[in-house]
A and B are shown apart, each in its own frame.
Chain A
Amino acid sequence: MTPIQMTFSTMFLLGLMGLTFHRTHLLSALLCLESMMLSLFLATSLWALQLSTINIATVPMLLLAFSACEASSGLALLVATARTHGSDHMQNLNLLQC
């Protein structure tokens, strides 16, 4: 494995672990999701650049468009949480707690 592929693989895994082990704020979980999307953008761009298959350069652009959709939905959920509970602390989201 070359170092650049190791780098974006570990970036994805770090973002995934940050999303899994988030503790306080909903927004830090959304930011870890954004770092996962960032690593995917890097990976698909490097696919287009390193292997010289330049038609694959459409994939990062479309990935960015749909990642914007997902980020805006996540931020709308954050705004809804902040308006309902007063803050975006994860311990307030305990409606399903037994």
Chain B
Amino acid sequence: MSYLVCVLLFGLMVGSVGVASNRSPYFAAMGLVMVSGVGCGVLICFGGSFLPLVFFLIYLGGMMVVFAFSAALSAEPYPYGWGNRSVKMYVAAYVLGVGCAWKVLLGKWSGFWGGNLDESGELLVLRGDMMGVAAMHDVGGWMLVLGGLGLLLTLFVVLELVRGVSRGGLRTV
């Protein structure tokens, strides 16, 4: 089981290097898709059930879809893939940096399993992290109200940012 976690952590690092290495946004969005899928797997390995689902549905199915169709705004005839020289230099620099950091800081592992939420081994109906999120509705009700008000404010912010005809963020159109 710990080998599976090692493979998933490697996938996380590869995807992060792929996002950060300055490729065309099409390929960086694919890297983020891979990172969120593999991150969902990591959370499952550590015993979560609701949080990985939230991650997959909301992050991948909501936000990444919006980023994917916004990538049409950055369309260019020859997007930077892996074959570009500067992208290869960035990838090499990031891989070298990550490798050095791992070698120096993680010379001997101080234990691997911090803990696993379903250590009891039984099949429970009320899973741990789902009950934690339920606490957000119970005692964290005011935080939910604040979050909702923040999202409403963001809606108006976005409407003002893209409004044209000299009333909002676009002055020349």
> Contact: A4 with B157, CB < 8 Å?
no
Residues from chain B with Cβ under 8 Å of A65 in the complex: 147, 150-151
Interface residues of B in 128-160 (CB under 8 A from A): 128-129, 131-133, 135-136, 140, 143, 147, 150-151, 153-154, 157-158
- Residue in B5, B6, B161 whose beta carbon sits within 8 Å of that of A73 in the complex: B161
- Candidates B6, B94, B106; contact of A17 at CB < 8 Å: B94
Q: A22-B22, A38-B36, A42-B42 are in contact. Are A48 and B132 (CB under 8 A)?
A: yes
By size class, the interface of chain B is: 35 or more
Bound together, the chains give a CA A21 to CA B86 distance in angstroms of 12
- 20 A–B pairs (Cβ distance < 8 Å), ordered by A: A2-B111, A3-B9, A3-B106, A11-B12, A11-B16, A18-B22, A35-B16, A38-B32, A38-B36, A39-B16, A49-B46, A52-B115, A54-B132, A62-B136, A64-B58, A75-B67, A76-B161, A83-B162, A84-B172, A88-B73
B: residues with CB less than 8 A from A are 5-6, 9, 12-13, 16-17, 19-25, 28-29, 32, 35-36, 39, 42-43, 46-48, 50-51, 54-55, 58-59, 62-63, 66-67, 70-71, 73-74, 80, 86, 90, 94, 98, 101-102, 105-106, 109-112, 114-117, 128-129, 131-133, 135-136, 140, 143, 147, 150-151, 153-154, 157-158, 161-162, 164, 169-173
